[in-house]
Amino acid sequence: MIRITINGRSLEVAAGTTVAAAVMTIQPGFRRSVSGELRGPLCGMGICMECRVTLNGHRHERSCQTLCTPGMEVVTDA
Amino acid sequence: MPSTLVIGGGPAGLAAAWAAAQVGDQVTLLDDNPALGGQIWRGGVPAAHQRFLDPSITVRTGVQIHSANQIPAADRLILATGTRERFLPFPGWTLPHILGAGGLQAMVKSGLPIAGKRVVITGTGPLLLAVGAYLRKRGAMVVLIAEQAPFSRIAQFTRELWREPAKLFQAAQLGWGLRYRADAWPIRADAGSITIQGHGKIPCDYVACGFGLVVNTELPALLGCAIDAGQVVTDSKQRTTIPHIYWAGAGSVDRSILEGQIAGFDLERARPLYPARDRALRFDRRIDQAFRLRSELSNLAAPDTIVCRCEDVPFGAVWQQRDWRSAKLQTRCGMGPCQGRICGPALEHLCGWPASSVRPPIFPTRLENLLDERR
Amino acid sequence: MTTDVLIAGAGIVGAAIAAALREAGAKCLVVEPEIVGGGATAAGMGHVVVMDDSPAQLALTEYSRHLWDALPLPPNVEREHRGTLWVAADAEEMAEVHRKHALYPASEILDAQALYEAEPELRPGLAGGLLVPGDSVLYAPCAAAWLLRLSPVRYTAIETLTDDGARLADGTPVSAGLTILACGTGITRLLPSLPVKPRKGHLAITDRYPGFLQHQLIELGYLKSAHGHSNESVAFNVQPRSSGQLLIGSSRQYGDDSADIRPELLSRMLRRAVEYMPRLVDLQVIRTWTGFRAATPDSLPLIGPYSDRVWVAAGHEGLGITTSLGTARLLADRYIGQPSAIPAEPYLPERFA
């Protein structure tokens, strides 16, 4: 198992879990759209950019294309 | 030793890399996903195709190609960048419980627990059935598969499947016990539900929807390969219009594997595979025909339905524009980070606008990655 | 087909002229082979800026900026009075700050400390800067569409100029009392003798990072690079958009007519930006593109009569958005025979005759 934090909350996930899948298990929304709508992943394959989060301080990273690694810090806008 | 570079590690790319290794090439395979397999084989290459994972192939995953000069030099380049789903906007489609059909499947394969969740699958094409079967196997309650195509077309297509008994068997196996309905499509989504034409409002945890597949032509277009009607133009050996660049994939798994092998092999070993590839191609065309989008789907989007999710541009702001470029410049539609990959194919269907030109970076990338570009 | 004034080009200059002449009582027809605001108007940064390469440039930019401020632009034009911050790297460039300060009304000299308070992301070691608070940024394609909202646009090109107007590419003859060519670098197709040359530029835009940047920033080294006669130059020039996105420029190039991105020049441009703002490396770039400025030998536009019935408004180089309104005003004044607020002579095409 791998331990990560999402918005400060600690979470254990199985190896091979993407950040998007990890976030989705605890909350539906990943970001606020330009007009304030709550959004989550659509395509699941790195195309739609709806799953962007801040990963270890880097903003606008696609969570569906990134595997969870130990100690990873994930911050969502929503 | 001649070198071959393959971009894209789905069925077509894996088959191409393996075939190129068989003819003695030094092969490198790049993919932007965390692991090989593409979308179809996300989570593991099936036992029957394990041979494609030839240890002589240098594999690099998590590599995103954003511009041409980032591609390592090779004697031969095989592009197998696959497809994505087409989405058609309907009221409520931007709610977080609405995902792509392949999208939800990918999320589940990537670790999202689905057991006990109520899922409605809608849109069009054989993918809906495959996703339904997969999600059910993982414990989801698949409430309904709502296929937009008319029952008559599906029935005729199924009759034709007698000529492809393996495919018919596969379809029957996938669909057994699933509630599959034709002439049904999404009307609107609200929090915790989806309303389906002819089936009313259905409470659910997730909706998986997709309206067919769109070829990822951005990289071949950037490299100058001719694109026609959304397809990369190839000859029988899978050569594009640019010397030394090949294209494979973008259809059913069977066809993708055959195209990959034809692209990867030398002419002598490729030629015997042409008839099977051509047959697979004809079958895919029949699928496209059977599952073509019905005209009612062009009326799903209301004036206030968001078309461009990156910039939140409603359909009403876009439809009276002269063309795709005017829509981009005047409304910001397609100007966000997905670069029009989601709204472009939707507007191609809704307004008849062809895709526009491609410029680097073909994916958003950290500025740092653009500091060392060369001719 | 008959009209008082036929205007070629629905870029920002043609749009501004159509609006001004319409207001002056002329019936106008605009012809545009592509789309409204789709050429240099869309390619540029949309910076409304006062500049002083020459007294005439200062007069036209200052006058035009004033005209922009008087316009009630709709929200989709995204106008923001960000102000321009000219960044001085060293003492030599600080001298330039002092020189400009004397010329630019309401400008403000920043020492190094004030510079970092204004823009904390700038690299350490810079000397200071000049803040010009009245400058603004806007989204020019929507500004062009707004200026054209009351004018008819016909989507075709002028095939050839005729004795009483023009013949359009769709075959239509147009009889016009006056034809005004406002088609940027395309003007030399119709009037090959005009000294207008394309000067290519690259730009990049990032994802949204609200608050990263407050002002339009331009290095004063720009003066050395933009006006040098070397064929290719880059300069640090970044702009915050109302969306939170950053536009990153700029490059200047003669002799490259291809719209393709030149990867090595794009990289050079971005490296220059990173020299001034190191943390830009971490931002996601979502798009890059090129465009063509219409450049003249003396860096001043051509505004006025080419012949009795053909006037021109082209060659605005990198200042087309800013000076479009002043250009239109000068031509409208000439059309109705009233004196202009600034002298029109420095911009007359006859200076190259």
In this complex, is the C-beta atom of B191 within 8 Å of any C-beta atom belonging to chain C? no
Q: What residue spans of chain C are helical by DSSP H?
A: 12-23, 40-43, 55-69, 91-103, 112-118, 140-147, 187-190, 222-227, 263-276, 320-336
Q: How many CB atoms sit inside 10 A of residue B177's CB?
A: 9
Q: Name the DSSP class of B41.
A: T
- Top pLDDT among A64 and A77 is at A64
**Calpha distance C125→C86 (Å, rounded):** 15
- Report whether B267 contacts B248 (CB < 8 A): no
More confident residue, A17 or B176: A17
- Residue C41's pLDDT is what? 98
Cβ–Cβ < 8 Å for B103, A42: yes
pLDDT tens track for C251-306: 999 999 999 999 999 999 999 999 999 999 999 999 999 999 999 999 999 999 99
Question: What stretch of H or E contains C219?
Answer: strand C216-219
Examine the predicted complex and report whether its ipTM is higher than 0.90.
yes
Q: What is chain B's mean pLDDT, rounded? A: 94
Please report, rounded to a whole number, the percentage of residues in chain C having pLDDT higher than 90: 96
> Is pLDDT of C224 > 70?
no
B107/A50 CB distance under 8 A: no
B312 interfacial to chain C (CB closer than 8 Å): no
pLDDT of C229 over the 60 cut: no
Amino acid at B169: F
A67 and A16 in contact (C-beta within 8 Å)?
Answer: yes
pLDDT, mean over chain C: 96
**Which of B336, B348, B347 lies closest to B309 in space, CA to CA?**
B336
pLDDT at site B345: 95
Residue whose C-alpha is closest to residue B219's, from B64, B374, B345: B64
Residues in chain A whose Cβ is within 8 Å of chain B: 13-14, 16-18, 20-22, 24-25, 28-30, 33-35, 37-50, 52, 58, 60, 64-67
> What's the rounded Cα separation, in Å, for the pair C87 and B20?
55
Q: How far apart are the first and last CA of chain A?
A: 26
On whether any CB of chain C is under 8 Å from the CB of A32, the answer is no
Domain architecture of chain A: domains with CATH:
2-75 (3.10.20.30)
Q: What is the DSSP letter of A63?
A: G
Asked, colleague to colleague, whether B3-84+214-286 and B98-211 share their fold, the answer is yes
pLDDT tens string B359-374 = 889 999 999 999 988 7
Query: Strand A9-13's sheet: what is its strand order?
Result: A9-13, A2-6, A73-75, A52-55, A58-62
Residue C311 has pLDDT above 90, yes or no: yes
Closest alpha carbon within chain C to A58: C282
Is B256 at the interface with chain A, CB within 8 A?
A: no
Average of pLDDT values for C43-62? 97
Confirm if C205 and C212 have CB atoms less than 8 A apart: no
The residues that bridge with C160 in the sheet, in sequence order, are: C167
Stretch C236-260: mean pLDDT, rounded?
95
Chain A positions touching C209 (Cβ under 8 A) are 59
What ranges do the domains of chain B cover?
Answer: 3-84+214-286, 98-211, 301-375
Statement: residue B341 has pLDDT above 60: yes
Q: Please state, as a whole number, how many other Cβ atoms lie within 10 Å of the Cβ of residue B325.
A: 18
Compute chain B's Rg from CA coordinates: 21
How many Å lie between the alpha carbon of B361 and the closest alpha carbon of chain C?
6
Question: Distance (Å) from the C-alpha of residue B341 to the closest C-alpha of chain A?
Answer: 7
Tokens of B12: 């077509």
State the pLDDT at residue B172. Answer: 77
Please count the other Cβ atoms lying within 10 Å of the Cβ belonging to residue B210.
Answer: 26
Q: How confident is the model at residue C231 (pLDDT cuts 50, 70, 90)?
A: confident
Yes or no: say if B12 and B80 are a contact pair by the CB < 8 Å rule. Answer: yes
What is the rounded CA–CA span in Å between residue C30 and residue C9? 7
Give tens-digit pLDDT for B261-298.
999 999 999 999 999 999 999 999 999 999 999 999 99
| Contact yes or no for B371 and C204 at CB 8 A | no
Fold of B3-84+214-286: FAD/NAD(P)-binding domain (3.50.50)
* A5: closest CA of chain C, how far (Å): 22
Partners of B314 in the β-ladder: B306
Distance from CA of C241 to the nearest CA of B (A): 13
The answer to whether B365 faces chain C, any CB pair under 8 Å, is yes
| Nearest-angstrom CA–CA distance, C69 and B372 | 41
User: In this structure, what DSSP letter does residue B34 have?
Assistant: S
Contact A58 C282 (CB under 8 A): yes
Q: Do B99 and A42 touch (CB under 8 A)?
A: yes
- pLDDT classification of C227: cutoffs 50, 70, 90: low
C159-211 pLDDT, tens digit per residue, is: 999 999 999 999 999 999 999 999 999 999 999 999 999 999 999 999 999 99
Per CATH, domain B98-211 is 3.50.50.60: yes
Domains defined for chain C, CATH in brackets: 2-46+140-195+298-352 (3.50.50.60), 84-133+197-295 (3.30.9.10)
- Give residue-wise pLDDT tens across range B126-139: 999 999 999 999 99
Task: Tell me the pTM.
Answer: 0.94
